[in-house]
Amino acid sequence: MPTDVLDTVVSAETPEGILLKLRPAGLSARFYALGLDWAIRLMIMYVAAMAAAFMAGIGIAFLFILFFALEWFYPVAFELTASGATPGKRVFGLKVVMDNGLPVTPAASLTRNLLRAADFLPFGYGFAIVSMLLRRDFKRLGDIAAATIVVYEPPAASRIDLGSIAPVVPVRTLAPQDQAAVVALAARAPRLTADRLDELAALAATVSGDAGHSGPEVTRRVLGVAQWALGRRS
């Protein structure tokens, strides 16, 4: 399929024989998420430092232990929650899963986060950036070793709302792919301008016997064919 060439979707096969689609998240989304996570961490450190200032001595020791815990285990702790994402990742709709689509395991989470030390080299996440740019699934070194992948939690596709358009019986037999194309056009209709919708509908006008014509009336009839393909008969 031509979509394979353009799309970055990774498939994971389940024991039931269906393919789960994983949509790997790229450099920019993950960069923003990392930045947000660091901002959150800095805020925690700032508040803790203010509290520690009142305790002197032992407070400063605990402060350093907190810094160390935040530095290394902040991502691990959040990735092992039900959401599988740090707060920064959650804001940008990302989460960490195993290669097979399952929730990330404690071992994998620890591995991928400790290997940040390697990803960070030579400076500023240099190896991580190179690795992510070279790979179709945008894994950094830690992801490769831990067999994890950072994916998008995609927003739900909207339902098709054709309102009161009357079904139109197609003038020729439509293959499943043709029906799907017409239905997909109907799904996109609310998000297109009227002119663009007319243009696109004109391309599909052969299904309603209006080849060579265009205009709102043709569009209405093409969408009527979509109604028919969806299963509405009257």
Partner 1 sequence: MTPLRFEQTYQDEWTELEASLGRVLGRKAGWSAPRSSVSGVRVAALYRRACENLALAQARCYPAYMVDRLERLTSDGHQVIYQRRIFGIARLKAIVAVDFPSAVRTHASYVAVAAAVFVLPAVVIGLLVYSRPELILSVVSSDTAASFEEMYSTSATSIGRTRTAATDWMMFGFYIRNNVSVAFQCFAGGLFAGLGTLFFLAYNGAVSGAVAGYLTERGLSPTFYSFIATHSAFELTAIVLSGTAGLRIGHALVAPGRLTRLQSLVLAARDSAVLLYGVTAMLLVAAAVEAFWSSAAWLPKAAKYASAVVCWTAVLGYFAFQGRRAR
Does 25 contact partner 1 by CB under 8 A?
no
Q: Given the complex with partner 1, which of 197 and 226 has the nearer CB atom?
A: 226
Query: Is there a contact between 132 and 138 (Cβ–Cβ < 8 Å)?
Result: yes
Q: Given the complex with partner 1, which of 117 and 195 has the nearer CB atom?
A: 117
Stretch that binds partner 1, among 27-35, 37-45, 59-67, 217-225 (CB under 8 A): 59-67
Does 134 contact partner 1 by CB under 8 A?
no
Stretch that binds partner 1, among 85-93, 153-161, 206-214, 215-223 (CB under 8 A): 153-161
Does 183 contact partner 1 by CB under 8 A?
yes
DSSP codes of every residue in the chain: -THHHH---EEEE-TTSPEEEE-B--HHHHHHHHHHHHHHHHHHHHHHHHHHHHH-HHHHHHHHHHHHHHHHHHHHHHHTSTT-S-HHHHHTTEEEEETTSSBPPHHHHHHHHHTHHHHTTTTTTHHHHHHHHH-TT---HHHHHHTEEEEE-PPPPPPP--TTPPP---SSPPPHHHHHHHHHHHHHGGGS-HHHHHHHHHHTGGGGT-TT--SHHHHHHHHHHHHHHHT---
Stretch that binds partner 1, among 33-41, 108-116, 189-197, 198-206 (CB under 8 A): 108-116
Does 82 contact partner 1 by CB under 8 A?
yes
Q: Given the complex with partner 1, which of 5 and 82 has the nearer CB atom?
A: 82
- Residues 186-215: x/- map of binding to partner 1 (CB under 8 A)? -x----------------------------
> How far is it, in rounded angstroms, from Cα 115 to Cα 215?
59
Binder to partner 1 among 141, 150, 204, 218 (CB under 8 A)? Answer: 141
Q: Tell the smallest beta-carbon distance from residue 125 to partner 1 (Å).
A: 13
Written as six digits, the tokens of 165 are: 């358009």
**Contacts with partner 1, residue ranges (CB under 8 A):** 14-18, 20-21, 56-58, 60-61, 63-65, 67-68, 71-72, 80, 82, 101-103, 105-108, 110-111, 114-119, 121, 141, 144-147, 154, 156-160, 176-177, 179-180, 183-184, 187, 229-232
